[in-house]
Amino acid sequence: MSITVTGTIQHRDIGTGAWALVTDDGVTYEILRGADKNLLKAGQKAKVTGKVREDVMTIAMIGQVLEVKSFEVTK
């Protein structure tokens, strides 16, 4: 399922660390490893388009896993 969501990037100190996108509505998506480093900046606002991966589990388990296809930094 492809989605586009806007929110704030957060780093979570769980295990080896995990990156999350917390939407303006409070929904948390875990960003799948391998995402562009320019996206992974704590506190940065972004509009992200990607695919929710139902076939992937993570150690952090902080939300649905989002495989980022593209993003735009917002203010």
pLDDT in tens, 4-13: 999 999 999 9
- Separation CA 68–CA 52 (nearest Å): 9
Give me the DSSP letters along 16-58.
T-EEEEEETTS-EEEEPTT--TTT--TT-EEEEEEEEETT---
- What pLDDT is stored for residue 2 in this prediction? 92
pLDDT in tens, 12-29: 998 889 999 999 999 999
What does DSSP assign to residue 14?
S
- What pLDDT is stored for residue 41 in this prediction? 98
pTM of the model: 0.93
Paired tokens of 36? 């562009």
What does DSSP assign to residue 60?
S
- What pLDDT is stored for residue 8 in this prediction? 98
Number of C-beta neighbours around residue 68 at 10 A: 20
Q: Which domains does the chain have, with CATH numbers?
A: 2-74 (2.40.50.500)
